[in-house]
Amino acid sequence: MTALDLYFVRHGQTDANAHRRLQGIMNEPLNETGRKEAAHTRDTLAKIPFIGAYASDRSRTRETAQIILATHPEVTAKTTTAHLREYNFGSFENMRDIDIGRLMVAHFGVRKIAASLRSPATFIPLMAEGFTAMDQTGVADTQETALERMQTQIDEIKADFPNGGNVLVVSHAFIMSLYLLALDPKVKLPISMPKNASVTHVHYDENEITIGAVNATSTKQLFSVK
């Protein structure tokens, strides 16, 4: 495989984000702030010659991709896919962050939660474990199912572009964080996960996968990582 560069972008802000509610597979649209964030990311990525673009089939990711691609008329390969959807949080969908925190503390205990906060490599998988364990709907993802569908999508992108190039991938904070941690447990993710409309660059070649800029919100941040 020739070198492939994926630019993972979290969608822009929605009203649920603004009100600190967990969205998961809910089909929330961008709000005005989210559209402005996506436009800022459009400018950040304007000089990257994309050859393809993929987005989760949720409206907030599709609109984010549409705004970014406004300066990339050369991109004709555009795909929406359920594989890039956010983690299905089951009965936690649309729940307030503060209420989720209380349930997690009740389930795991204060000490375990406090210890996990030292690193996203422990905190984010622990949250995934809690979502699955406490789900009352029977439909929540597990880390394994979420990572499997994300990897399925990455493999499809590699197959679609065997000659490499730059590809835009618009998805969601939690599932992208799990994927990045699976690639490298030491990746410098914030505990709060990637910001809305931020960019994370991952380089793939025959021999290795390299994570470049993480959670970048400016051209300087994106290209300052060698």
Q: Is 11 a catalytic residue?
A: yes
Q: Where are the domains of the chain?
A: 4-87+142-223
- This prediction has a pTM of 0.96
> Would you state the structure tokens that stand for residue 107, as one six-digit string?
């389930």
Q: Which entry of 11, 72, 83, 172 is annotated as an active-site residue?
A: 11
Q: Is 72 a catalytic residue?
A: no
* Alpha carbons 133 and 127: distance in angstroms, whole number: 10
* 144-169 confidence digits (pLDDT tens): 999 999 999 999 999 999 999 999 99
Residue among 47, 57, 37 at smallest CA distance from 7: 47
142 in a known ligand binding site:
no
* 42-78 confidence digits (pLDDT tens): 999 999 999 999 999 999 999 999 999 999 998 988 9
* Alpha carbons 1 and 177: distance in angstroms, whole number: 25
Phi, psi of 80 (to 5 degrees): -105, 140
17 in a known ligand binding site:
yes
User: Is the pLDDT reported for residue 79 higher than 60?
Assistant: yes
172 in a known ligand binding site:
no
Q: Which entry of 86, 93, 172, 201 is annotated as an active-site residue?
A: 86
pLDDT bracket for residue 2 (50, 70, 90): confident
Cβ neighbourhood burial of 98 (10 Å; 0-12, 13-18, 19+): exposed
- The CATH code of domain 4-87+142-223 reads 3.40.50.1240
40 in a known ligand binding site:
no
